């Protein structure tokens, strides 16, 4: 009998899968050590082609049903569901899951805020009272003559509606430009409360309910808006109020931030409440002493992924890397403890941690992982958990046995551009406003603004698509705003420092040099994409660039996305009026009606639209073409030609 031997696992070449040299160095070490990472698993796990096209449904046990992506209308599911229904339902559930993740994060922060306001929690406090007042005012709360505590209580009551409201419009809708809001009202997509929208979305995608892709699209747009203008925005604003609104700081990024002679602790996840408390714990004199008694020079706290990005911009905590580097960083052997909370935590981390003797802790009741120790984190007594993490890290430091190899790469970057700071930076403290940004767009020095955000993904070369896309955009005078793992890719590539403006086109370069800012502005974590929405609203309010977000010369991209959260973010940008281009792969079959709906028809309805290409240069071209189309509609195509002529004139004068 012919017995087929299983194929030997495919080996990866580290320099083919990432442009992050530190990650590549650690992947080589992992190969020597016989340790497997997501890069290896991706090479050996062929993506299911039917799933990748979203041409299957398993919403009931008459199926699962698989349709033919090559000939999408040749077949329907057992219940009769066609390709458009099946794809729309799958897409809708991705939006619902992503929205649930951001809104549940926001809800934890809201819970914390309530307990702080009512005095039940004293370990955290209201730090930024100016922001508290501004946020309250932005949703119509009268702050005149009221104490901080009174305003905070009223703000809590209002913001709770973001989640629980059954009828009406969520509070931050008051920040939406009137014309954009008018479109949403006409389409019936203004979110009521996030819980209601997510619930209705899950109901409508159940077997045998909503089977018209346009109607499903309306509900997932509404659900996504409950994320961007709801859950995510609540998270960002309350985190700023309690932990401080970011302003630019110089930070160190990359694996070289680990220190061989110190106790290294990594916090990875999304809710800064855990990280803020670890920050307190590592500064505790008794714990510093314990570390020194154990022979360490000190305690070195380092972030990864999104809560890392938040701590970086609020406290200058160094950042070791983005999503695809979380396993690789443990391969250094230098990490004494890694504490995680929720989202983007690979289960594979537990095994890598075990291989190198790193202690891994889960802390949130929502996220336990086999092989990791669970120390429950409670906002009411946060130090009980975080002191324990530090103590366990010190013990591991004392008992280090394995050789350590830390890539000697450290990059610096300036990050922490909140939408408040952008207005201050461009307008100055006395006339803080978006006027200079709008003026520079109108006069053509800045061609437009792009948001480049999102994950890294082992299906593409880590960081490469982000970096090439952003370089291409700034070269063409497009100012780039960034969040999440994407900004870490650019920081490692050295593009988040003012000196990087030499890579920008002449107009953008002039603005950057005048203001002293980098051409690439890091705004924070993925929930902080809400800052981009607020900035866009401010640009509309400022005037001169049309009357809705859809009329602005802006575009968005998630070039290496992987999570359902990214789809929710993409959809809320699209529904807000932004052309949004995704890379890697897109979970919809081309040439279907649903595809046409998302990629063309939504724009005709006054919203934004989706775009897709895996190629960074093509992506830049598509985004720039869209920006130019919007400039033309605003009558700004001529001003840019003028400014470029001026620039050439000036240069020839300088040369003379």
Q: Which residues sit at the interface with ligand SF4, rule CB under 6 A?
A: 57-60, 62-65, 77-79, 81, 86, 207
Q: Does 109 bind ligand NFS (CB under 6 A)?
A: no
Nearer to ligand NFS, 476 or 529 (CB): 529
Pick from ligand SF4, ligand NFS, none: which does 454 bind, CB < 5 to 8 A by kind?
Answer: ligand NFS
Shortest Å, Cβ 488 to ligand NFS: 8
In the complex, the smallest distance separating the C-beta of residue 84 from ligand NFS, rounded to whole angstroms, is: 27
CA-to-CA dists, residue 298 to 197, 288, 289, 654, angstroms:
48, 6, 8, 53
Contact map string, positions 484 to 503, toward ligand NFS, x by CB under 6 A: xx------------------
Q: Please give the distance of CA 575 from its chain centroid, rounded to a whole number.
A: 17
CA gap 105, 281 in Å, rounded: 23
Question: What is the spatial distance between Cα 83 and Cα 71, in angstroms, rounded to a whole number?
Answer: 10
Burial environment of residue 431 by CB neighbours within 10 A (0 to 12, 13 to 18, 19 or more) = exposed
* Largest Cα span, the chain: 88
Q: Which residues pair with 340 in a beta bridge?
A: 268, 362
Least Cα distance to 481 among 441, 535, 444, 435 occurs for 535
Q: How far is the CB of 271 from ligand NFS (least distance, A)?
A: 11
Choices 39-47, 248-256, 559-567, 572-580 (CB under 6 A): range interacting with ligand NFS: 559-567
Phi, psi of 587 (to 5 degrees): -80, 50
Taking the least distance from each CB to ligand NFS, the nearer of 136 and 455 is 455
Contact yes or no for 321/23 (Cβ under 8 A): yes
Binds 506, which of ligand SF4, ligand NFS, none (CB < 5 to 8 A, cut-off by type)? none
Q: Which two tokens stand for residue 209?
A: 């309910």
Q: Strand 65-66 vs strand 56-57: parallel, antiparallel, or unpaired? A: antiparallel
User: Residue length, the chain?
Assistant: 656
Query: Which single residue is written with the structure tokens 């380092």?
Result: 302
If the CB atoms of residues 564 and 618 are measured against ligand NFS, the closer one turns out to be 564
- Tell me which of ligand SF4, ligand NFS, none is bound by residue 305, counting a contact when its beta carbon lies within the kind-specific cut-off of 5 to 8 angstroms: ligand NFS
Does 305 help bind ligand NFS (rule: CB under 6 A)? Answer: yes
- Determine the 3-state secondary structure of 582 from DSSP: strand
Q: Taking contact as CB under 6 A, which single stretch among the options 5-13, 28-36, 149-157, 561-569 is the one that binds ligand NFS?
A: 561-569
- Shortest Å distance, C-beta 56 to ligand SF4: 8
From the list ligand SF4, ligand NFS, none, which binds 563 (C-beta under 5 to 8 Å, kind-based)? ligand NFS
For ligand SF4, the closer of residues 207 and 410 by Cβ is 207
- Cβ-based neighbours of 357, under 8 Å, separated by 6 or more: 333, 396, 399, 400, 401, 402
Concatenated DSSP letters for 387-446? HHHHHHHHHHHHT--S--------EEEEE---HHHHHHHHHTTTS-SSHHHHHHHHTTSS
The binder of 444, among ligand SF4, ligand NFS, none, by C-beta within 5 to 8 A per type, is none
CB of 569 to ligand NFS, least distance (A): 8
H or E element, residue 366: none
Q: Does 98 bind ligand NFS (CB under 6 A)?
A: no
**Total of residues contacting ligand NFS (CB under 6 A):** 15
Minimal distance, residue 273 CB to ligand NFS, in Å: 16
Does 323 participate in binding ligand NFS (rule CB under 6 A)? yes
Binding partner of residue 64 among ligand NFS, ligand SF4, none, CB cut-off 5 to 8 Å per kind: ligand SF4
Answer yes or no: are the C-beta atoms of 362 and 374 closer than 8 Å: yes
Q: For the segment 232-271, give every residue that binds ligand NFS (CB under 6 A).
A: 270
Residue pointed to by tokens 């972030």: 303
Helices (H), 479-528: 484-492, 506-515
Specify the residue, 87 or 386, whose C-beta has the smaller distance to ligand SF4: 87
Q: Does 565 sit near ligand NFS (CB under 6 A)?
A: yes
Nearest distance, CB of residue 344 and ligand NFS, angstroms: 3
What three-state secondary structure class fits 342?
coil
Residue 161 interacts with ligand NFS (CB under 6 A)? no
Report residue 634 as tokens.
């605003």
Least spacing, CB of residue 188 vs ligand NFS, in Å: 29
Q: Given the structure tokens 């057992």, which residue do they identify? A: 78
The single residue among 42, 287, 306, 441 that binds ligand NFS, judged by CB under 6 A, is: 306
Closer by beta carbon to ligand NFS, 269 or else 382 = 269
Cis peptide before 64 (omega within 30 of 0): yes
The SS3 of residue 166 is: coil
Which residues contact residue 213 at a Cβ distance below 8 angstroms, ignoring those fewer than 6 apart?
84, 85, 87, 88, 593, 594, 597
**Shortest Å, Cβ 65 to ligand SF4:** 3
Pick from 454, 577, 611, 616 the residue near ligand NFS by CB under 6 A. 454
- Closer residue to ligand NFS in complex, CB, 393/485: 485
Nearer to ligand NFS, 91 or 323 (CB): 323
Q: Which of 501, 505, 519, 507 is nearest to 476 (CA)?
A: 505
In the 8-state DSSP scheme, what is residue 54?
Answer: T
Tell me which of ligand NFS, ligand SF4, none is bound by residue 65, counting a contact when its beta carbon lies within the kind-specific cut-off of 5 to 8 angstroms.
Answer: ligand SF4
Taking CB within 5 to 8 Å according to partner kind, which of ligand SF4, ligand NFS, none is near residue 60?
Answer: ligand SF4
Closer to ligand SF4 at the Cβ: 207 or 375? Answer: 207
Integer-rounded Cα radius of gyration of the chain: 25
Of 76 and 634, the one with the shorter C-beta distance to ligand SF4 is 76
Nearest to ligand NFS of 151, 568 (CB atom): 568
351 binds ligand NFS (CB under 6 A): no
77 binds, among ligand NFS, ligand SF4, none (CB under 5 to 8 A by kind): ligand SF4
Q: Cα dist. 472→260, 285, 451, 615, 627 in Å? A: 37, 48, 13, 12, 14
What is the smallest separation between the CB atom of 289 and ligand NFS, expressed in angstroms?
Answer: 34
Tally Cβ neighbours within 10 Å of residue 631.
22
Binding site for ligand NFS (CB under 6 A): 270, 305-306, 322-323, 343-344, 454-455, 484-485, 526, 563, 565-566
């Amino acid at each position: 009998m012919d017995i087929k031997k299983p194929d030997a696992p495919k080996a990866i070449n580290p320099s083919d899968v990432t442009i992050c040299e530190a990650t590549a160095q650690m992947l080589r070490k992992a190969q020597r050590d016989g340790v497997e990472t997501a890069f290896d698993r991706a090479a050996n796990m062929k993506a299911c082609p039917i799933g990748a096209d979203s041409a299957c449904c398993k919403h009931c046990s008459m199926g699962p049903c698989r349709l033919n992506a090559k000939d999408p209308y040749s077949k329907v599911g057992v219940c009769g569901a066609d390709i458009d229904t099946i794809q729309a339902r799958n897409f809708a559930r991705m939006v619902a899951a992503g929205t649930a993740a951001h809104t549940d994060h926001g809800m934890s922060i809201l819970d914390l805020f309530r307990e702080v306001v009512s005095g039940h929690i004293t370990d955290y406090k209201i730090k930024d009272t100016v922001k508290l007042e501004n946020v309250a005012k932005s949703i119509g709360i009268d702050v005149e003559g009221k104490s901080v505590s009174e305003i905070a209580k009223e703000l809590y009551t209002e913001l709770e509606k973001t989640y629980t409201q059954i009828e009406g419009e969520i509070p931050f809708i008051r920040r939406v430009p009137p014309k954009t809001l008018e479109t949403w009202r006409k389409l019936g997509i203004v979110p009521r409360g996030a819980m209601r929208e997510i619930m209705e979305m899950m109901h409508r995608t159940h077997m045998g309910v909503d089977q018209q892709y346009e109607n499903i699209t309306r509900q997932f747009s509404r659900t996504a808006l409950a994320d961007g203008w709801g859950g995510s925005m609540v998270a960002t604003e309350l985190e700023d109020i309690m932990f401080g609104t970011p302003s630019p700081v110089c930070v160190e990024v990359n694996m070289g931030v680990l220190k061989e002679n110190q106790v290294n602790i990594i916090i990875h996840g999304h809710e800064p409440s855990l990280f803020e408390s670890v920050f307190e714990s590592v500064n505790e004199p008794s714990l510093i002493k314990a570390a020194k008694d154990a022979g360490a020079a000190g305690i070195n706290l380092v972030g990864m992924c999104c809560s890392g990005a938040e701590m970086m911009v609020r406290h200058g905590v160094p950042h070791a890397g983005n999503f695809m580097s979380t396993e690789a960083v443990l391969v250094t052997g230098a990490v004494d403890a890694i504490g995680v909370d929720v989202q983007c935590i690979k289960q594979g981390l537990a095994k890598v941690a075990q291989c190198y003797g790193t202690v891994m802790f889960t802390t949130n009741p929502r996220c336990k992982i086999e092989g990791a120790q669970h120390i429950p984190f409670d906002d009411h007594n946060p130090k009980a958990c975080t002191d324990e993490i530090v103590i366990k890290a010190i013990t591991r430091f004392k008992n280090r046995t394995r050789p350590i190899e830390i890539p000697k790469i450290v990059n610096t970057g300036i990050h922490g551009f909140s939408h408040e700071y952008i207005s201050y930076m461009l307008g100055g403290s006395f006339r803080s406003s978006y006027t200079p940004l709008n003026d520079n767009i109108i006069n053509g020095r800045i061609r437009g603004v792009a948001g480049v955000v999102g994950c890294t993904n082992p299906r593409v070369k880590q960081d490469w698509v982000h970096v090439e896309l952003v370089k291409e955009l700034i070269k063409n005078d497009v100012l780039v705003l960034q969040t999440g793992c994407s900004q870490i890719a650019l920081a490692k590539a050295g593009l988040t420092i003012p000196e990087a403006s030499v890579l920008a086109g002449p107009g953008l370069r002039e603005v950057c040099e005048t203001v002293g800012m980098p051409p690439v502005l890091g705004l924070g974590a993925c929930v902080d994409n809400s800052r981009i929405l607020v900035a866009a609203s401010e640009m509309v309010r400022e005037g001169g660039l049309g009357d809705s977000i859809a009329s602005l010369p802006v575009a968005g991209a998630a070039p290496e996305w992987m999570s359902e959260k990214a789809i929710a973010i993409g959809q809320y940008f699209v529904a807000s009026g932004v052309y949004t281009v995704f890379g890697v792969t897109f979970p919809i079959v081309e040439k279907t009606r649903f595809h046409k709906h998302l990629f063309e028809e939504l724009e005709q309805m006054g919203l934004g639209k989706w775009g897709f290409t895996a190629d960074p240069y093509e992506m830049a071209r598509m985004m720039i073409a869209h920006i130019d189309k919007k400039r033309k509609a605003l009558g700004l195509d001529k001003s840019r030609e003028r400014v470029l002529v001026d620039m050439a004139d000036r240069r020839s004068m300088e040369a003379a």
